[in-house]
Structure formats: structure tokens, C-alpha cells
Chains A and B, each alone.
Chain A
Amino acid sequence: MAQVTATVKEAPSTLGRIVQTILPSRRFPSISLFILIFLLVLPGIFAPQLAPHNPIKGSLGARLKPPAWVAGGSITYPLGTDKVGRDILSRIIYGARVSLSVSLVAIVVSGAIGVTLGLIAGYFGGKIDALIMRLVDISLGLPVILIALVFVAVVGPSFGTVIIVTSFLLWARYARQVRGETLSIRERDFISRARVAGASHLRIMFRYILPNVINTLTVLATLQIGAIILLESTLSFLGAGIPRPTPTWGSMIADGRDLIVVAWWIAMFPGLAIMLTVLSLNLLGDWLRDHLDPKLRNI
């Protein structure tokens, strides 16, 4: 990729230099990774050890306490409490666990489905390809949020339904991307050589094509985690997400929106958590894309 030089280049201002240090575009986004570890990964794994209070059991006497630095708040509840007296910080920590687990499971499930179908479509081509691509179209074309609402109304909200809905939404993107790449890869020499050597279709797909597609998948997956977290929060907002009393960032915002005037912290902090997490994921994904495979600029 040739270096593009702009004809007019200014010396970076002080602010510019600061910005560049904090948010480098060519250098590894370490801040993002840092945020992710502290906001998503560590709380996700060590929630019981990290959370100061029980996220589910509240005490009515301590309801609607503001964050510690606001008048009326106390350090016992650093980020305040919600309308039933539960500690916001603890709920955010446990909420990270939910976000992490939903994302991972959803990515594995939708990835498995999408990659497999994409490989098959791209590899075999013809009618199979057409059929799978139609399925992709259908999947992308259905107004997913509506289907989600109706579906949840049937089976009731649960962890499982959120995974199903999310996978239903996401598999098609993997499939489409993988299929495109497979189409181009399968014409290459080493593939035809493998075929001549008598390798089975399955072996070719998973042993030869898949590894070349991993880069794309990594980028896609990283970017998708953010989408999953946002989708989960939207479903919670509409009442179709993971049910109470499990704390999720999305349902915390949903719960807190009624009181946003009297108790802004209930909805604000989980919103910030989502924002920082997804932003970091996107930055990380961008960096990965730029560095793993420049061809993917157009995703």
C-alpha cells in the first residue's frame, strides 16, 4: 500500500500531538486494549471478587443514592444506587460478565454457522451458492428487531433467546464475507494442486481455505462484539433482553431512563461503559484491519 502524501501538511499542534499520543492510528491502540481489559475482561472473569456488593440484593433504605462525589453520596456506593438500593458499580461489574459471555457465545455460534455456510457457498458455487446467498439476503432483509420482539413474546426473554436473536442477525455477515473470499481463493494454484492430490472437499475447505480467511474473521469478530453489546442493550430497552434480575448494561439503562432526571447515574454509567467498551473494540478492530489485511478497508 503506497504511502499517500497530502500536499499540504501542517506541523501538528500541541493538541494534535496529545491526541496523536492518546489515539494513534498507526500505532497499536494500547489505551483501547487497556480499557477493554479493565472494563470487559477482568470484570467479566473476576466479577465476584471485584464487586463490592451483591448486584441483585438491594436495600430499600439506600435507594437512589448519588455517586460518592456528589452531595448525599458515600464511598460505600461509589457510583450510587438504583431504585431498589442496589450498588451501581457492582451491577456494572457483573454486567460486564453478561456482555462478555453473550458476545463470546453469540460470536462462536453465529461465526460457526456463518463461516461454514460461507465456505460451502463459495467453494461449491452454483445452485448451492445461490441458495445460501438467498438465505443471507433473507436474513439481512428481515427487520430483525421486529422478529426479535415477536420471537421473545413467544418464548419469553432469556439468555438463550438473546443468543438466538443475535446469531440470527450476525451469521449472514460472516457468510457473505467468507463466501467472497472463498470465491477468490479457490481459483488459486495451491487449491487446485490439493484437489489433484485427492484431498476431500471438507479437507480443502477447512484445512486450506479457512486459515486464509482467519484474518478477515478476526477483524469482523472484533467489530461484531460491539454490535452485539449494542443489540443486547437495545433488546433490553424494548423489554426483550436478558430478564431481571440479572444485571446487564442495557437493562440498567432501560431501568434508569425513567429516572434520568432525578438519578442520572443509573443510566449514565452503564451508557458510558457501553460507549467506552464498544469504542475501544472498534478502534482495536480498525487497527487489526489496517494491519492484518489492507484489502479489508471497505468493510
Chain B
Amino acid sequence: MQRYIGIRLLQSLLALWVMSLIVFSLARLTGNPMDAMLPLEADRDEYARLEKHWGLDRPLHVQYLTFLGNALRGDFGNSWKWQGHTAMGLVLERLPATLELAGVALAISVVLALPIGVLSAVMKDTPMDSFGKIVALLGQSLPSFWLGIVLMWIFAVHLGWLPTSGRGGIERMILPAISLGWFQVAVVMRLVRSSMLDVLDSEYVKLTRIKGLSEWKVVWKHCLRNAAIAPLTYFAINASALVTGSVVIESVFAWPGTGLLAIDAVRARDFQVVQTIVIVFSAVFLAANLLVDILYAYIDPRIRYQ
């Protein structure tokens, strides 16, 4: 078991390293950050002085090794755009906002998906099933930014029920979380539905029926158990979609999370911040994957010996 964990850990670290390499080279190739920082009218002397100051005149591999060395000590460099802040500091500062949004979005999606999934399973092949599928699929068929804009216009401007943008208080979280979370509803709903179908078909339930006990208790108990496992099982795919979605949604709703930070950083050619964000996200994803794999290996020993 330890061997398995060890191997997987090593593989994850390797993956992380590869990602850092990819991101580093891409970021460096996007052009001179000085071009982003200085206005069009700046002259050559300004460029040269600043380049030297930031160490951008050194060869690429030297820059990478410096970066790697510092990173291992936890220093991911300073931001260019946000003077006086470290790249990691910025990311950590903004991460809670994104996690908060993603968490609420996931929660909303589960809250919506549960009843729809259960009802779809119980009333399989009836109009309810179709209706449930449509609602869920609708979430996967709408561009999330379009949904966000439309929701903002209906609820914030025309009806005035909710604020338009920004962060602070539950009321500001609702629209962005729905825009972000609706996409997940289909995935979770499908899981709930299929596992519910399994349950309904199982011997256990049939026995309960024979005994005359309320079927609903069993159904709901199993359903709640699924609710906990379902998002975890598909965390990988969910997570990528959530990250992708959050970048766009944060932009529409001016939500100050890492997604918006990433867009700003890419636009401003702030390499240090872009690298840090990608590495942090990748690390989180890899760590989560690792944990899930270890959990499964624990439960099912066969996996370890593959």
C-alpha cells in the first residue's frame, strides 16, 4: 500500500513539474512583458532599463532555473502588475473567493440535481423524466457567460432584486453561483439517477416493498449517500469545468477570484502570477486526484496491483 502511495506521489510530482515547464515556456513566449507594462509611446531606453531591472535580459534557461530554485523555497516571484505583492500572495489572497463561489455553485447544483435525479429515476420514462433531463441538459447547453449576462439583466437591472456584481454578502453570490453551477446539474443528476435506478432495482428494496415498509425512506437514505459521493467521484471533470467556468463568470460578475486574476495577469503579461495560478490549480487537482485514487485503492485492493 505504501509502495502504491509512493509511486503515485512521485508521478504526481512529476506531472506538476511538467506543467510548470509548459506554463513557464508558454508564458515567456507570449512576448515581452515590458510591451504590456509600458505605453506605446515609451522609448527604447525605458525598455532597456526596465528589462535589466526585471532580469528579463538573461537567457531563458537561466530564468527557468532561477524560477525553479525559488519556487522550491516557496517564492514564486513578485507580480509585475500588482506592485508590491508576491505572486503567491496574490493567488492565496484571491483563492478563497473562487473556492467560495465554486463551493456554492456545487452546492446549488447538488441541491437542484438531487430532486431531479431521484424523480427522474423513480418516474423513469415518464414526462417527469424527460422534463428533468431537459432542465439538467439546459444547463449544459447554455454558454455560462450568456446565462450570467441574461440573469444579471433580468434579476439585477429589470427586477432589481439582486446586486449586479462584486463580492460581499450572500446576495452577491447567488447569480454567479447559479450561472456557474447550472452546468454541473446535468452531471450530478445523471449520477444520482443511475445509482437510484440501481437501488430501485436491488434486492434490498424489493424486500422492503414486500415487507410493506415505506419505500421512500430507503430511496431517500440511499439518495443522500449518493449526494455525498457523486460530486467526489467526478471531482476531476467537475473541477476543470468549474475552473473554466469561474474564469468567465468572475469576469462577467466582477467577482474578485483567481479566475479574474488569471485573465488580468494574462492580459498584462504578468508571467509570475500566471505561472503561479496554473501551478496552484494543477497542484490542487493532482492532490485531489491522488487522494481519490488512494481512497479507491484502500477500498479495492485489486487496483493497487495493476
Contacts and interface: CB of A to CB of B under 8 A. Distances in A.
Interface string B19-55: 1001100110111000000000000000000000000
Contacts of B240: 140-141, 143-144
Interface string A24-59: 111000000000000000000000000000000000
A234 B244 contact: yes
B85 interface: no
B143 A274 contact: yes
Interface string B131-142: 101100110111
Interface in B244-278: 244, 247-248, 251, 262-263, 266, 269, 274, 277-278
A110 interface: no
A226 interface: yes
A140 B247 CA distance: 17
A260 B194 contact: no
B266 A138 contact: no
Given A15-B127, A19-B130, A154-B26, A138 B143 contact: no
Contact of B209 (A7, A145, A150, A234): A7
Contacts, number: 175
A233 interface: yes
Contacts of B274: 146, 150
B130 A23 contact: yes
Interface stretch (B57-65, B164-172, B282-290): B282-290
Nearest to A133: B11
Nearest to A141: B285
Contacts of A134: 11, 14-15
B282 A153 contact: no
Given A23-B130, A25-B129, A143 B137 contact: no
Contact of A150 (B27, B237, B306): B27
Interface residues of B, number: 68
B127 A12 contact: yes
Interface of A: 2, 4, 6-7, 9, 12-13, 15-17, 19-20, 23-26, 125, 129-130, 134, 137-138, 140-147, 149-151, 153-154, 226, 230, 233-234, 237-238, 250, 253, 257, 260-261, 267, 271, 274-279, 282-283, 286, 297-298
14 contacts: A12-B127, A16-B127, A20-B127, A23-B134, A134-B15, A137-B15, A143-B244, A143-B282, A145-B244, A151-B26, A261-B153, A274-B142, A279-B138, A282-B140
Given A13-B127, A134-B15, 13 more contacts: A24-B130, A25-B125, A25-B130, A140-B285, A144-B240, A154-B26, A154-B30, A238-B251, A257-B145, A271-B150, A274-B141, A282-B186, A283-B133
Interface of B: 11, 14-15, 18-19, 22-23, 26-27, 29-31, 121-131, 133-134, 137-138, 140-146, 149-150, 153, 157, 186, 190-191, 194, 197, 200-201, 209, 215, 236-237, 240, 243-244, 247-248, 251, 262-263, 266, 269, 274, 277-278, 281-282, 285-286, 289, 306
